[in-house]
Amino acid sequence: MSVVATPRQLVFDLPVRQALGRRDYLVADCNSDAVAWLDRWPDWPQFGLVLSGPAASGKTHLASVWDAQSGAAWLDGHEIDRLAANASADPAAVILDDLDDLLDARPDRQETVFHLFNRMRASGGALLATAKTPPARWGLGLRDLSSRLNSLPSVSIGAPDDPLLAALIVKRFGDRQVQVSPEVVDFMLLRIDRSFRGVDRVVAAIDQEALAAARPITVPLARRALDQLAVTD
């Protein structure tokens, strides 16, 4: 009895273009407060806002929406470090995405961010910081910065419910220019880790399997991809 190998296509790790417009953001109970805060700008009670939530929960998406409204500059670690030497280069509005990670990677940045906060407040600027958790849980060594952060309004994105998870599955496949049937979505809801990151991980695995097999996404294909994913965990 001969065994015929099923041909599989080579799969290249190409970047995925995510839809990051305001109309592309999926609003549900877990994130409606965050959306309402971003929609209130520029009528915030203070110059800044801290937006927290788990990985892949849409914080950067909301920051992108606010960027389109405010014309904010995105400050990564390099830009923060540059401001330490050239404070006169402060933009009128800034986004500090994943600020908790930026400060954890380089605790010496706390002093720079503290002075940036003071200058933004004094100049009438605007600031949006995103993080995994609220600032009170960061354990910062610089108490003045911790006090500044905790004085800002803070809003959190919670865990997704089933309707949002289903909508996220459809959107994540749509970002990859792929359509999936309701049967595949229902199957995935029964099998995935019920988190934002879990959706991203499983969608990527199923899409890779479909590309490699050169087949449409069906329930059997999704099952095979998830079984393979479980083996690698």
What is the tens place of the pLDDT at every residue in 90-109? 788 999 999 999 999 999 99
166-179 burial, b if ≥16 CB within 10 A, otherwise e?
bbbbbbbbebbebe
- CATH value of 162-232 in 3.40.50.300, 1.10.8.60, 1.10.10.10, 3.20.20.70: 1.10.8.60
Q: Which pairing describes strands 126-131 and 93-96: parallel, antiparallel, or unpaired?
A: parallel
Q: What is the pLDDT of residue 2?
A: 41
Q: Which residues of the chain have pLDDT under 50?
A: 1-20
Q: What is the pLDDT of residue 15?
A: 42
Exposed / middle / buried, residue 144 (Cβ in 10 Å: 0-12, 13-18, 19+)? middle
Residues of the chain with CATH 1.10.8.60: 162-232
Residues of the chain with CATH 3.40.50.300: 22-156
Q: Model's pTM, two decimal places?
A: 0.78
Q: Give the CATH architecture of domain 22-156.
A: 3-Layer(aba) Sandwich (3.40)
